[in-house]
Amino acid sequence: MMDMETGEFAEKALFYEGNAVREFLRCPGRRVVVSIEATGAMQWFLVLLEELGVEYRVGHPAKI
């Protein structure tokens, strides 16, 4: 992760258990942009991002 205001980087392992992903992405008052590598199993994640109103970018695996 990168905080666009401070330029600070952070790393976190995120596992899909219960509401962990939903809670992680819920950032009231902050703009969040998610980058994801295009895979065959990404559809559930894109649906969740759209449901939460989170902006995202999908990239080609060989190019990112």
The total number of structural domains in the chain stands at 1
Question: Mean pLDDT per 10-residue run, the chain (64 residues)?
Answer: 87 81 80 88 91 91 84
pLDDT at 27: 74
pLDDT of residue 37: 92
Residue 41: the pLDDT is 87
Identify which of 43, 36, 41, 44 has the alpha carbon closest to the alpha carbon of residue 64. Answer: 36
DSSP code of residue 43: H
* pLDDT score at 8: 92
Domain that holds residue 48: 1-64
